[in-house]
């Protein structure tokens, strides 16, 4: 079936659909990962976005039930150069197209993804519409321009859990960690479990006093979608807990922690989405290749350097990638140390979190 992708600036891409039929709106971004498409499409941080893969062939190893990163697909639509009709892998149980049909997700193939990527790099991420039902270009451009976008929109409420739950009960847990779910990836929970932690996941709107009643040894602020400035209720909770617990923030959690510490956030031109972003740890000089997925960033100049140390910098554009408090047991990173997909260079940060809880028991 024919499909049309229309950007808000009037740029049109025509292709063939796979997966479900219909129409979706979202901000178009590109992801530079060469594999890991299953983890990407189930990452809740992509809520509100249409993801274009720069690697040309996608779908060749199918879908399995073990590599999902959340309870369902949250991205709005998916763009590839070529969708592989053949899925071959010993763990594969279904094709990407069938998975999309089951979850009512639109996919489009056959467009020039290199041209689309270059256009986004030059003009910035922009609002778009992908449709198989309305192929009128002017109509679609108008819809794209009129869509809400990401700035100022609370998407956390669309992906967070509704009630508290324990992730895989374990005996003789060394530490109890509360995870504030703003769209947490399952591999963050797996990493904590692998480090001997009993993990209690709570909804994003859980108040500080309710978190303290659980008597955690540490608090993890999860990744999630959209604008960190649109979730002031989480920032308020963090402020109330700054001097109460060791805190580790990841991605959106890092941005919200930055705000709780007095910093400000801003929108990047086209964001960081992929598994090959070089980040330098300024404390050791060590460079990690990291997995990233974010469209907003903490402004380095807005932070109080008297109390806050800049720990990590992105080597591509020199944006802030990590911070820690000089007096309190608090730190955060903009990238994803749990990977999935991506390299495991930054997994050492979970060890740092464990040490913080141990030292502040």
Could you read off the pLDDT of 180-193 as tens digits, one per residue? Answer: 999 999 999 999 99
Q: Are 235 and 260 in contact (CB under 8 A)?
A: yes
The residues annotated with a catalytic role in the active site are 251, 336, 338
Residue 158 is encoded by which pair of tokens?
Answer: 């669309």
Give me the pLDDT at residue 169, please. 85
Q: What are phi and psi of 280, to 5 degrees?
A: -105, 130
Which pLDDT band, with edges at 50, 70 and 90, does 100 fall under?
A: very high
The string of pLDDT tens digits covering residues 11-57 is 999 999 999 999 999 999 999 999 999 999 999 999 999 999 999 99
Averaged pLDDT, 96-107: 97
Q: Please check the confidence at residue 198 and state whether its pLDDT lies above 90.
A: yes
- The residues, any chain, with a CB within 8 Å of residue 196's CB and separated by 6 or more, are 170, 173, 174, 175, 354
pLDDT at 110: 97
- Average pLDDT for 208-223: 98
Q: What is the pLDDT of residue 168?
A: 86
- Tokens 């991420």: give the residue: 125
Residue 348 in this model has a pLDDT that exceeds 90: yes
Q: What is the pTM of this model?
A: 0.96
- Joined tokens for residue 132: 């198989």
Helix (H) or strand (E) holding 269: strand 265-281
Residue that has been written with the tokens 């464990």 in this structure: 354
Structure tokens given for 357: 């809880």
Q: Angle at which helices 252-260 and 232-241 pack, to 10 degrees?
A: 60
Rounded mean pLDDT, 53-76: 96
Q: Is the dihedral of CA 163, 168, 172, 176 positive or negative?
A: negative
Give the pLDDT score at 36.
Answer: 96
Distance CA 268, CA 45 (A): 15
Q: Which domains does the chain have, with CATH numbers?
A: 2-146 (3.50.30.20), 156-359 (3.40.50.880)
Lowest mean pLDDT among 34-43, 167-176, 310-319, 326-335: 167-176
DSSP-assigned beta bridge partners for residue 314: 279
pLDDT in tens, 304-322: 999 999 999 999 999 999 9
Residue 361 reports pLDDT greater than 90: no
Q: Which ranges of the chain does DSSP label H, i.e. alpha helix?
A: 37-41, 96-102, 113-123, 137-146, 156-159, 186-194, 208-213, 232-241, 252-260, 348-359
Q: What pLDDT is stored for residue 188 in this prediction? A: 98
Confidence of residue 278 (pLDDT cuts 50, 70, 90): very high
């Amino acid at each position: 079936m024919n499909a049309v992708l229309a950007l808000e600036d009037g740029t049109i891409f025509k292709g063939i659909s796979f997966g479900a039929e219909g129409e979706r709106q979202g901000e178009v971004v590109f992801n530079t990962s060469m594999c890991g498409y299953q983890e990407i499409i189930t990452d809740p941080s992509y809520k509100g976005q249409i993801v274009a893969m720069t690697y040309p062939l996608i779908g060749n190893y199918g879908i399995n039930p073990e590599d999902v990163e959340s309870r369902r697909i949250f991205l709005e639509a998916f763009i590839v150069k070529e969708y592989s009709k053949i899925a071959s892998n010993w763990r594969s149980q279904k094709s990407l197209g069938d998975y999309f049909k089951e979850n009512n997700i639109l996919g489009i193939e056959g467009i020039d993804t290199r041209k689309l990527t270059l256009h986004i790099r030059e003009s910035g991420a922009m609002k778009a519409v992908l449709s198989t039902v309305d192929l009128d270009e002017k109509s679609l451009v108008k819809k794209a321009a009129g869509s809400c976008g990401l700035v100022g929109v609370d998407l956390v409420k669309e992906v967070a859990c509704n009630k508290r739950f324990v992730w895989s009960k374990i005996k003789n847990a060394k530490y109890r960690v509360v995870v504030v779910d703003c769209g947490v990836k399952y591999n963050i929970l797996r990493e904590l479990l692998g480090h001997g932690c009993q993990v209690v996941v709570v909804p994003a709107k859980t108040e500080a006093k309710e978190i303290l009643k659980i008597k955690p040894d540490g608090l993890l602020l999860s990744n999630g979608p959209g604008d960190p400035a649109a979730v002031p209720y989480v920032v308020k909770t963090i402020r109330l807990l700054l001097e109460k617990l060791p805190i580790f923030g990841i991605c959106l959690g890092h941005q919200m922690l930055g705000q709780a510490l007095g910093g400000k956030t801003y929108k990047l031109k086209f964001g960081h989405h992929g598994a090959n972003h070089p980040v330098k740890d300024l404390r050791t000089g060590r460079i990690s290749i990291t997995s990233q997925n974010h469209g907003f960033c903490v402004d380095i100049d807005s932070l109080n350097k008297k109390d806050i140390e800049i720990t990590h910098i992105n080597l591509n554009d020199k944006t802030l990638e990590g911070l820690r408090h000089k007096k309190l047991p608090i730190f955060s990173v903009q990238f994803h140390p749990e990977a999935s997909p991506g390299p495991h260079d930054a997994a050492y940060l979970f060890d740092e979190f464990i040490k913080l809880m141990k030292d502040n028991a």
